[in-house]
Amino acid sequence: MLLYSTRIAPSTIHGLGCFTTEDIKQGATVWQYDGRLDRRIPKSELGDFPPGVQAYLNMYAYEEDIDGERMMTLCGDQAKHMNHSDAPNLLEGPDGINVAGRDIAAGEELTCDYSKFDLSVKF
């Protein structure tokens, strides 16, 4: 769940991106998993969904290991539109949270390094 206000807009990185609408200070927690909004689905259950839902999950969910089980984590808010960067402004913090790696100005696209948390990433 994003802890700052954001908007979705065209991205120069890829398709749509997630842009902050407020300044964020370095070190601030920007995103954290919250089961009230975000969902974890066992990867083993992916085939139980219709093809369109499988395609959606493959596009917007990321894969992680939770207690030895491969899970697909789907952000329930605009965070699912965060794009990858080799020099992201969000960094992985403890327990999978995302923290601002530097001061981020309102209007900037929020980016993260997929390879730091998504087990399905193949660059």
For 104, which DSSP code? B
* CA-to-CA dists, residue 75 to 26, 60, 105, 106, 121, angstroms: 23, 8, 23, 21, 17
CB within 8 Å of 65: residues ≥ 6 apart: 71, 119
Q: What is the mean pLDDT of residues 41-62?
A: 96
Which range is least confidently modeled, 75-79, 87-91, 117-121? Answer: 117-121
Give the separation between CA 107 and CA 94, rounded to whole angstroms.
26
- pLDDT score, position 95: 82
CB within 8 Å of 50: residues ≥ 6 apart: none
User: Side chain identity at 102, as an amino acid letter?
Assistant: R
Task: Please check the confidence at residue 52 and state whether its pLDDT lies above 80.
Answer: yes
Q: What is the mean pLDDT of residues 68-79?
A: 96
**Tokens matching residue 49:** 């969904």
Burial class, 72, CB count within 10 angstroms (exposed 0-12 / middle 13-18 / buried 19+): buried
pTM above 0.85, yes or no: yes
Question: Quick one: pLDDT band at residue 123, thresholds 50, 70, 90?
Answer: low
CB within 8 Å of 17: residues ≥ 6 apart: 8, 9, 10, 11, 81, 82, 83, 109, 110, 111
Tens digits of residue pLDDT in 18-42: 999 999 999 999 999 999 999 999 9
